[in-house]
Amino acid sequence: MITDNTKKPLLAGVIGHPIDHSKSPKLHNYWLSTHNINGFYIPLDIKPQDLTKSIESLVMLGFRGVNVTIPHKVSVLSIADTATDRASMIGAANTLYFNKDGKVTADNTDGYGFKQNIKSVDPMWNAKVGPAVVFGAGGAAKAVIHSLLSEGVPLVRILNRTRIKAEMIAENLGNRVEVIDWYAIKEALNGATTIINTTSLGMLGQPTFEPDLSNVSSDARVIDLVYNPIETDFLKIAKKCGLKTIDGIGMLFFQAEPGFKNWFNAAPVVDEKLRALFLNE
Ligand code: NAP
Protein backbone atom coordinates (compact mmCIF):
# COMPACT_ATOMS: atom_id res chain seq x y z
CA MET A 1 0.00 0.00 0.00
CA ILE A 2 1.24 3.47 -0.88
CA THR A 3 1.26 5.93 2.02
CA ASP A 4 -0.14 9.37 1.36
CA ASN A 5 1.43 11.56 4.05
CA THR A 6 -0.68 14.55 3.08
CA LYS A 7 -3.67 12.70 4.53
CA LYS A 8 -4.47 12.64 8.23
CA PRO A 9 -3.32 9.44 10.00
CA LEU A 10 -5.99 6.77 10.50
CA LEU A 11 -6.71 6.23 14.20
CA ALA A 12 -7.98 3.22 16.15
CA GLY A 13 -7.30 1.72 19.57
CA VAL A 14 -8.40 -0.57 22.36
CA ILE A 15 -10.52 0.50 25.32
CA GLY A 16 -10.46 -1.31 28.66
CA HIS A 17 -9.68 -0.88 32.36
CA PRO A 18 -6.91 -1.77 33.03
CA ILE A 19 -5.35 -1.84 29.59
CA ASP A 20 -1.60 -2.42 30.15
CA HIS A 21 -1.93 -6.20 29.60
CA SER A 22 -3.48 -5.88 26.12
CA LYS A 23 -1.50 -7.42 23.25
CA SER A 24 -3.65 -5.64 20.64
CA PRO A 25 -1.44 -2.50 20.30
CA LYS A 26 1.61 -4.64 19.51
CA LEU A 27 -0.39 -6.63 16.94
CA HIS A 28 -2.10 -3.74 15.13
CA ASN A 29 1.00 -1.52 15.16
CA TYR A 30 3.01 -4.40 13.67
CA TRP A 31 0.43 -4.73 10.87
CA LEU A 32 0.39 -0.93 10.37
CA SER A 33 4.17 -0.89 9.92
CA THR A 34 4.29 -3.98 7.65
CA HIS A 35 1.56 -2.49 5.42
CA ASN A 36 3.21 0.94 5.53
CA ILE A 37 -0.05 2.57 6.61
CA ASN A 38 -0.17 6.10 7.95
CA GLY A 39 -2.04 5.22 11.14
CA PHE A 40 -1.88 4.63 14.89
CA TYR A 41 -3.45 2.09 17.24
CA ILE A 42 -3.57 3.37 20.81
CA PRO A 43 -4.30 1.67 24.19
CA LEU A 44 -6.90 3.73 26.09
CA ASP A 45 -7.57 3.18 29.79
CA ILE A 46 -11.23 4.09 30.25
CA LYS A 47 -13.13 3.69 33.52
CA PRO A 48 -16.70 2.30 33.34
CA GLN A 49 -18.23 5.63 34.43
CA ASP A 50 -16.45 7.42 31.54
CA LEU A 51 -17.39 4.93 28.83
CA THR A 52 -20.21 6.76 27.01
CA LYS A 53 -18.44 10.13 27.02
CA SER A 54 -15.18 8.53 25.89
CA ILE A 55 -16.77 6.77 22.92
CA GLU A 56 -18.50 10.01 21.88
CA SER A 57 -15.15 11.82 22.11
CA LEU A 58 -13.32 9.19 20.06
CA VAL A 59 -15.98 9.45 17.34
CA MET A 60 -15.63 13.25 17.42
CA LEU A 61 -11.83 13.02 17.21
CA GLY A 62 -12.12 11.01 14.01
CA PHE A 63 -11.17 7.56 15.29
CA ARG A 64 -12.24 4.78 12.89
CA GLY A 65 -13.16 2.45 15.76
CA VAL A 66 -11.80 0.51 18.71
CA ASN A 67 -11.39 -2.94 20.16
CA VAL A 68 -13.13 -3.46 23.48
CA THR A 69 -11.85 -5.47 26.42
CA ILE A 70 -12.74 -6.10 30.08
CA PRO A 71 -14.88 -4.60 31.67
CA HIS A 72 -16.69 -2.94 28.74
CA LYS A 73 -17.59 -5.87 26.45
CA VAL A 74 -21.26 -6.04 27.51
CA SER A 75 -21.95 -2.36 28.27
CA VAL A 76 -20.77 -1.12 24.83
CA LEU A 77 -23.74 -2.94 23.26
CA SER A 78 -26.19 -0.51 24.82
CA ILE A 79 -24.09 2.49 23.75
CA ALA A 80 -23.72 1.39 20.11
CA ASP A 81 -26.36 2.48 17.56
CA THR A 82 -26.42 -0.95 15.93
CA ALA A 83 -24.94 -4.38 16.49
CA THR A 84 -24.09 -7.24 14.16
CA ASP A 85 -26.19 -10.39 14.54
CA ARG A 86 -23.27 -12.25 16.08
CA ALA A 87 -22.67 -9.52 18.70
CA SER A 88 -26.37 -9.44 19.57
CA MET A 89 -26.55 -13.23 19.85
CA ILE A 90 -23.44 -13.41 22.03
CA GLY A 91 -24.54 -10.41 24.11
CA ALA A 92 -21.10 -8.80 24.05
CA ALA A 93 -18.85 -6.92 21.63
CA ASN A 94 -15.07 -6.81 21.20
CA THR A 95 -14.96 -4.44 18.21
CA LEU A 96 -16.61 -1.10 17.44
CA TYR A 97 -16.77 0.47 13.99
CA PHE A 98 -17.32 4.24 13.88
CA ASN A 99 -19.21 4.88 10.65
CA LYS A 100 -18.89 7.96 8.44
CA ASP A 101 -22.29 9.25 9.66
CA GLY A 102 -21.01 9.19 13.27
CA LYS A 103 -22.99 6.05 14.16
CA VAL A 104 -21.36 3.22 16.11
CA THR A 105 -21.69 -0.46 15.15
CA ALA A 106 -20.77 -3.16 17.68
CA ASP A 107 -19.36 -6.49 16.50
CA ASN A 108 -18.07 -9.65 18.12
CA THR A 109 -15.21 -11.26 16.18
CA ASP A 110 -14.14 -13.91 18.74
CA GLY A 111 -16.13 -16.71 17.07
CA TYR A 112 -14.68 -15.72 13.68
CA GLY A 113 -11.16 -15.71 15.17
CA PHE A 114 -11.78 -19.10 16.75
CA LYS A 115 -12.77 -20.86 13.54
CA GLN A 116 -10.27 -19.07 11.29
CA ASN A 117 -7.48 -20.10 13.66
CA ILE A 118 -8.47 -23.76 13.50
CA LYS A 119 -8.86 -23.66 9.71
CA SER A 120 -5.48 -21.97 9.24
CA VAL A 121 -3.69 -24.65 11.27
CA ASP A 122 -5.84 -27.59 10.22
CA PRO A 123 -7.74 -27.10 6.95
CA MET A 124 -9.16 -30.65 7.26
CA TRP A 125 -11.06 -29.81 10.46
CA ASN A 126 -14.77 -30.32 10.04
CA ALA A 127 -17.11 -29.44 12.91
CA LYS A 128 -19.83 -31.60 11.40
CA VAL A 129 -18.13 -34.94 12.02
CA GLY A 130 -18.81 -35.24 15.75
CA PRO A 131 -19.78 -33.65 19.06
CA ALA A 132 -17.81 -30.74 20.51
CA VAL A 133 -16.97 -30.34 24.18
CA VAL A 134 -16.68 -26.81 25.55
CA PHE A 135 -15.15 -26.32 29.00
CA GLY A 136 -16.33 -22.98 30.39
CA ALA A 137 -19.38 -20.76 30.05
CA GLY A 138 -18.00 -17.23 30.05
CA GLY A 139 -17.93 -14.66 27.25
CA ALA A 140 -15.42 -16.57 25.13
CA ALA A 141 -17.44 -19.79 25.45
CA LYS A 142 -20.54 -18.06 24.04
CA ALA A 143 -18.61 -16.92 20.96
CA VAL A 144 -17.09 -20.38 20.48
CA ILE A 145 -20.46 -22.12 20.79
CA HIS A 146 -22.11 -19.79 18.26
CA SER A 147 -19.22 -20.38 15.90
CA LEU A 148 -19.45 -24.17 16.27
CA LEU A 149 -23.20 -24.10 15.65
CA SER A 150 -22.74 -21.97 12.53
CA GLU A 151 -20.16 -24.52 11.30
CA GLY A 152 -22.82 -27.26 11.60
CA VAL A 153 -21.62 -29.11 14.70
CA PRO A 154 -24.14 -31.89 15.53
CA LEU A 155 -23.88 -31.41 19.31
CA VAL A 156 -22.14 -29.13 21.83
CA ARG A 157 -21.62 -30.37 25.37
CA ILE A 158 -20.92 -27.53 27.81
CA LEU A 159 -19.25 -28.15 31.17
CA ASN A 160 -18.81 -25.30 33.61
CA ARG A 161 -17.82 -25.09 37.26
CA THR A 162 -20.92 -22.94 37.83
CA ARG A 163 -23.51 -25.10 36.07
CA ILE A 164 -26.25 -22.46 35.99
CA LYS A 165 -24.16 -20.29 33.64
CA ALA A 166 -23.89 -23.16 31.16
CA GLU A 167 -27.64 -23.71 31.44
CA MET A 168 -28.32 -20.04 30.72
CA ILE A 169 -26.26 -20.26 27.53
CA ALA A 170 -27.93 -23.51 26.43
CA GLU A 171 -31.43 -22.22 27.20
CA ASN A 172 -32.15 -20.62 23.83
CA LEU A 173 -29.87 -22.65 21.61
CA GLY A 174 -32.07 -25.67 20.95
CA ASN A 175 -31.36 -29.39 21.12
CA ARG A 176 -27.86 -29.22 19.62
CA VAL A 177 -26.54 -27.84 22.93
CA GLU A 178 -26.54 -29.77 26.21
CA VAL A 179 -25.10 -29.18 29.66
CA ILE A 180 -22.98 -31.84 31.35
CA ASP A 181 -21.82 -31.80 34.94
CA TRP A 182 -18.33 -30.27 35.42
CA TYR A 183 -17.13 -33.52 36.99
CA ALA A 184 -18.58 -35.84 34.30
CA ILE A 185 -15.61 -35.26 31.98
CA LYS A 186 -15.28 -38.87 30.84
CA GLU A 187 -18.93 -38.98 29.78
CA ALA A 188 -18.64 -35.62 28.01
CA LEU A 189 -15.53 -36.59 26.05
CA ASN A 190 -17.06 -39.80 24.72
CA GLY A 191 -16.93 -39.63 20.89
CA ALA A 192 -16.00 -35.90 20.91
CA THR A 193 -14.05 -34.67 17.88
CA THR A 194 -13.51 -31.00 18.89
CA ILE A 195 -12.52 -30.26 22.49
CA ILE A 196 -12.03 -26.69 23.67
CA ASN A 197 -10.87 -25.07 26.88
CA THR A 198 -12.53 -21.65 27.13
CA THR A 199 -11.99 -21.30 30.88
CA SER A 200 -9.19 -19.16 32.25
CA LEU A 201 -7.67 -22.29 33.83
CA GLY A 202 -4.10 -22.77 32.66
CA MET A 203 -3.50 -19.05 32.26
CA LEU A 204 -0.40 -17.64 33.94
CA GLY A 205 -1.28 -17.19 37.64
CA GLN A 206 -4.38 -19.42 37.44
CA PRO A 207 -4.73 -23.07 38.50
CA THR A 208 -3.76 -25.61 35.85
CA PHE A 209 -6.26 -27.60 33.74
CA GLU A 210 -5.34 -31.28 33.38
CA PRO A 211 -8.36 -33.42 32.49
CA ASP A 212 -7.89 -37.09 31.64
CA LEU A 213 -7.84 -37.27 27.84
CA SER A 214 -6.65 -40.88 27.57
CA ASN A 215 -9.95 -42.17 26.14
CA VAL A 216 -10.47 -39.37 23.63
CA SER A 217 -10.96 -40.49 20.05
CA SER A 218 -7.69 -40.32 18.10
CA ASP A 219 -9.08 -37.98 15.41
CA ALA A 220 -10.10 -35.31 17.97
CA ARG A 221 -8.73 -31.77 17.85
CA VAL A 222 -7.87 -30.20 21.21
CA ILE A 223 -7.94 -26.41 21.35
CA ASP A 224 -7.02 -24.00 24.13
CA LEU A 225 -8.10 -20.35 24.05
CA VAL A 226 -5.50 -19.51 26.68
CA TYR A 227 -2.41 -18.00 25.00
CA ASN A 228 -0.30 -17.06 28.01
CA PRO A 229 1.49 -19.49 28.17
CA ILE A 230 1.14 -20.56 24.55
CA GLU A 231 1.60 -24.24 25.33
CA THR A 232 -0.65 -24.97 28.32
CA ASP A 233 -0.67 -28.16 30.41
CA PHE A 234 -4.00 -29.01 28.74
CA LEU A 235 -2.31 -29.00 25.32
CA LYS A 236 0.72 -30.88 26.66
CA ILE A 237 -1.54 -33.68 27.93
CA ALA A 238 -3.36 -33.81 24.60
CA LYS A 239 -0.05 -34.04 22.71
CA LYS A 240 1.09 -36.89 24.98
CA CYS A 241 -2.13 -38.71 24.04
CA GLY A 242 -1.21 -38.27 20.36
CA LEU A 243 -3.99 -35.75 19.68
CA LYS A 244 -3.83 -32.76 17.34
CA THR A 245 -3.58 -29.50 19.30
CA ILE A 246 -4.22 -25.84 18.48
CA ASP A 247 -3.10 -23.02 20.77
CA GLY A 248 -4.87 -19.73 21.45
CA ILE A 249 -2.45 -17.18 19.99
CA GLY A 250 -3.75 -17.58 16.43
CA MET A 251 -7.29 -16.82 17.59
CA LEU A 252 -5.98 -13.57 19.03
CA PHE A 253 -4.59 -12.67 15.59
CA PHE A 254 -7.67 -13.68 13.60
CA GLN A 255 -10.20 -11.99 15.91
CA ALA A 256 -8.32 -8.75 15.20
CA GLU A 257 -8.59 -9.09 11.41
CA PRO A 258 -12.11 -7.66 10.81
CA GLY A 259 -11.37 -4.53 12.86
CA PHE A 260 -8.06 -3.88 11.12
CA LYS A 261 -9.66 -4.30 7.67
CA ASN A 262 -12.48 -1.90 8.53
CA TRP A 263 -10.36 0.82 10.16
CA PHE A 264 -7.25 0.75 7.96
CA ASN A 265 -8.63 -0.55 4.62
CA ALA A 266 -6.07 -3.35 4.34
CA ALA A 267 -6.12 -7.13 4.83
CA PRO A 268 -3.54 -8.01 7.51
CA VAL A 269 -1.34 -11.07 7.17
CA VAL A 270 -1.23 -13.81 9.79
CA ASP A 271 1.95 -15.80 9.23
CA GLU A 272 4.87 -17.50 10.97
CA LYS A 273 6.73 -14.18 11.27
CA LEU A 274 3.87 -12.70 13.28
CA ARG A 275 3.64 -15.83 15.41
CA ALA A 276 7.39 -15.71 16.09
CA LEU A 277 7.09 -12.10 17.21
CA PHE A 278 4.68 -13.15 19.95
CA LEU A 279 6.39 -16.45 20.79
CA ASN A 280 9.67 -14.67 21.46
CA GLU A 281 8.22 -12.11 23.89
P1 NAP B 1 -14.90 -15.14 31.63
O2 NAP B 1 -16.12 -14.64 30.95
O3 NAP B 1 -14.44 -14.50 32.89
O4 NAP B 1 -15.10 -16.73 31.91
C5 NAP B 1 -14.16 -17.45 32.65
C6 NAP B 1 -14.50 -18.93 32.61
O7 NAP B 1 -13.47 -19.65 33.30
C8 NAP B 1 -15.83 -19.29 33.31
O9 NAP B 1 -16.43 -20.37 32.65
C10 NAP B 1 -15.32 -19.71 34.71
O11 NAP B 1 -16.19 -20.59 35.38
C12 NAP B 1 -14.06 -20.44 34.34
N13 NAP B 1 -13.14 -20.54 35.48
C14 NAP B 1 -12.40 -19.54 36.02
N15 NAP B 1 -11.70 -20.01 37.08
C16 NAP B 1 -12.03 -21.33 37.20
C17 NAP B 1 -11.63 -22.36 38.10
N18 NAP B 1 -10.76 -22.13 39.10
N19 NAP B 1 -12.14 -23.60 37.93
C20 NAP B 1 -13.03 -23.85 36.91
N21 NAP B 1 -13.44 -22.91 36.04
C22 NAP B 1 -12.94 -21.66 36.18
O23 NAP B 1 -13.63 -15.08 30.67
P24 NAP B 1 -13.62 -15.17 29.05
O25 NAP B 1 -13.65 -13.80 28.48
O26 NAP B 1 -14.64 -16.16 28.65
O27 NAP B 1 -12.13 -15.74 28.80
C28 NAP B 1 -11.79 -17.06 29.16
C29 NAP B 1 -10.38 -17.40 28.69
O30 NAP B 1 -10.33 -17.34 27.26
C31 NAP B 1 -9.30 -16.44 29.19
O32 NAP B 1 -8.14 -17.18 29.48
C33 NAP B 1 -9.04 -15.52 28.00
O34 NAP B 1 -7.73 -14.99 27.97
C35 NAP B 1 -9.24 -16.52 26.86
N36 NAP B 1 -9.61 -15.85 25.59
C37 NAP B 1 -8.76 -15.99 24.55
C38 NAP B 1 -9.06 -15.40 23.33
C39 NAP B 1 -8.10 -15.56 22.19
O40 NAP B 1 -8.17 -14.76 21.25
N41 NAP B 1 -7.25 -16.58 22.21
C42 NAP B 1 -10.26 -14.65 23.19
C43 NAP B 1 -11.12 -14.55 24.28
C44 NAP B 1 -10.78 -15.15 25.49
P45 NAP B 1 -17.33 -20.01 36.38
O46 NAP B 1 -18.48 -19.59 35.49
O47 NAP B 1 -17.61 -21.15 37.27
O48 NAP B 1 -16.71 -18.84 37.10
Q: pLDDT for 194-204, tens place per residue?
A: 999 999 999 99
pLDDT, tens digit, 9 for 90 and up, residues 236-276:
999 999 999 999 999 999 999 999 999 999 999 999 999 99
**Which pLDDT value is given to residue 5?**
52
Average pLDDT over residues 161-175: 96
**Res 79 pLDDT > 50:** yes
Tell me what pLDDT residue 34 has.
Answer: 96
- pLDDT of 205 over the 50 cut: yes
Ligand 1: atom nearest CA of 249 is: 41
- Ligand 1 residue neighbourhood (C-beta within 6 Å): 110, 113, 136-141, 160-162, 165, 198-201, 203, 207, 225-227, 248, 251-252, 255
How many A from CA of 151 to the centre of ligand 1?
22
Candidates 8, 23, 53, 73; catalytic one: 73
Probe target for ligand 1 pocket from 161, 197, 234, 274, with the most ligand atoms within 8 Å of CB: 161
**Among 194, 202, 69, 206, residue whose Cα is nearest residue 144:** 194
Average pLDDT, the chain: 96
pLDDT attached to residue 4: 52
Average pLDDT over residues 5-22: 90
pLDDT band at 7 (very low <50, low <70, confident <90, very high): confident
Closest residue CA from atom 39 of ligand 1: 252
CA of 251, closest atom in ligand 1: 40
Span from the CA of 160 to the centroid of ligand 1 (angstroms): 10
**110 alpha carbon – ligand 1 mean position (Å):** 13
136 CA to centre of ligand 1 in angstroms = 6
Ligand 1 pocket: which of 158, 199, 228, 232 to mutate (most atoms within 8 A of CB): 199
Tell me: the pLDDT tens digits for 112-147? 999 999 999 999 999 999 999 999 999 999 999 999
Write 198-201 long-range contacts (CB < 8 A, 24+). Answer: 198/134, 198/135, 198/136, 198/137, 198/138, 198/140, 198/141, 198/144, 198/225, 199/135, 199/136, 199/138, 199/160, 199/161, 200/136, 200/138, 200/226, 201/135, 201/226, 201/234
* Residue of the CA atom closest to atom 38 of ligand 1: 225
Any catalytic annotation for residue 115?
no
Residue nearest to atom 4 of ligand 1 (CA): 138
Q: What is the pLDDT of residue 1?
A: 47
Rounded Cα distance, 118 and 173, in Å: 23
Q: What is the pLDDT of residue 6?
A: 57
For residue 122, the one-letter residue type is: D
Ligand 1 atom showing the smallest separation from residue 199 Cα:
7
Q: Is the pLDDT of residue 48 over 60?
A: yes
pLDDT-above-70 percentage for the chain? 98
Does residue 9 have a cis peptide bond before it, meaning omega lies within 30 degrees of 0? no
Residue 275 is predicted with a pLDDT of 95
Q: What pLDDT, in 10s, does the model give residues 220-231?
A: 999 999 999 999
Residue whose CA lies nearest to ligand 1 atom number 6:
199
Confidence (pLDDT) at 216: 97
- The model's pTM is 0.95
* Ligand 1, atom 9: closest residue by C-alpha: 136
